[in-house]
Amino acid sequence: MNTCSTNTATPLTLGFSPCPNDTFIFHALIHGLVDAAGLRFTERLEDVETLNRLALDRALDVSKVSYHLMGRILPDYVLLRSGGALGRGCGPLLVARADLDPSRLAGKKIALPGRYTTAALLLRLYDPTLTDFVYLPFHEIMGAVADGSVDAGVIIHESRFTYASYGLTQLLDLGAWWEADTGHPIPLGGIAAKRSLGGETLRAIEDALTESVRHAFAHPALPHPYIRAHSQEMSEAVCDAHIKLYVNDFSLTLGSEGEQAVQYLLQRATAAGIIPPSSEPLFTPR
Domains of the chain: 12-87+186-271 (3.40.190.10), 93-182 (3.40.190.10)
d(CA 55, CA 63): 7
Dist. CA 213–CA 205, nearest whole Å: 12
Cα distances from 139 to residues 38, 96, 117, 131, 226, in angstroms, run 37, 15, 14, 22, 21
- What would the pLDDT profile of 71-89 be if each residue is shown by its tens digit? 999 999 999 999 999 999 9
Mean pLDDT, rounded, for 32-41: 95
pTM reported for the whole predicted model: 0.93
73 vs 192: CA distance, rounded Å: 9
Contacts of 138 (CB under 8 A, 6+ apart): 47, 48, 49, 113, 114, 155, 156, 157, 159
Under the banding of pLDDT at 50, 70 and 90, the label for residue 6 is: very low
Confidence of residue 229 (pLDDT cuts 50, 70, 90): very high
Taking residues 16-45, what's their average pLDDT? 96
User: Which pLDDT value is given to residue 253?
Assistant: 97
pLDDT tens digits for range 135-158: 999 889 999 999 999 999 999 988
Distance between CA atoms of residues 199 and 223, nearest Å: 30
Judge whether 179 and 88 are in contact, CB under 8 Å: yes
Q: Which of 67, 161, 164, 153 is nearest to 116 (CA)?
A: 67
pLDDT (average), residues 209-222: 97
Angle of helix 199-218 relative to helix 20-30, nearest 10 degrees?
A: 110
What's the pLDDT at 8?
41
Tell me how far CA of residue 218 lies from CA of 33, 183, 211, 213, 223, in angstroms: 12, 31, 10, 9, 11
Three-state SS at 215: helix
Q: pLDDT at position 269, please?
A: 97
**86 within 8 A of 190, measured Cβ to Cβ:** yes
**pLDDT value of residue 1:** 44
Q: Which of 157, 184, 215, 242 is catalytic?
A: 157
Q: Are 110 and 126 in contact (CB under 8 A)?
A: no
Q: Is the dihedral of CA 143, 131, 185, 216 positive or negative?
A: negative
Question: Is the Cα torsion angle 119, 121, 127, 130 positive or negative in sign?
Answer: positive
**Percent share of the chain, pLDDT over 90:** 87
Annotated binding residue 65: yes
Asked if residue 64 belongs to a known ligand binding site, the reply is yes
- Among this protein's residues, is 224 annotated catalytic? no
Output the pLDDT for position 2: 47
66 is in an annotated binding site: yes
Over residues 14-19, mean pLDDT? 96
pLDDT at residue number 167: 95
Euclidean distance between CA atoms 250 and 84, whole angstroms: 7
pLDDT of amino acid 39:
95
The pLDDT assigned to 234 comes to 80
Q: In this model, does residue 5 exceed pLDDT 50?
A: no
CA-nearest of 34, 31, 11, 13 to 23 is 31
Torsions phi, psi of 133, nearest 5?
Answer: -110, 145
Please give the Cα distance from 235 to 78 (Å, whole number): 35
pLDDT of residue 7: 44
Give the pairing of strands 110-112 and 133-135: parallel
Closest among 6, 134, 85 to 265, alpha carbons compared: 85
User: What distance in Å separates the CA atoms of residue 173 and residue 88, rounded to the nearest whole number?
Assistant: 11
Of the pLDDT bands very low, low, confident and very high (cuts 50, 70, 90), residue 3 is: very low
pLDDT tens sequence across 47-71: 999 999 999 999 999 999 999 999 9
Model pLDDT, residue 201: 96
pLDDT band at 161 (very low <50, low <70, confident <90, very high): confident
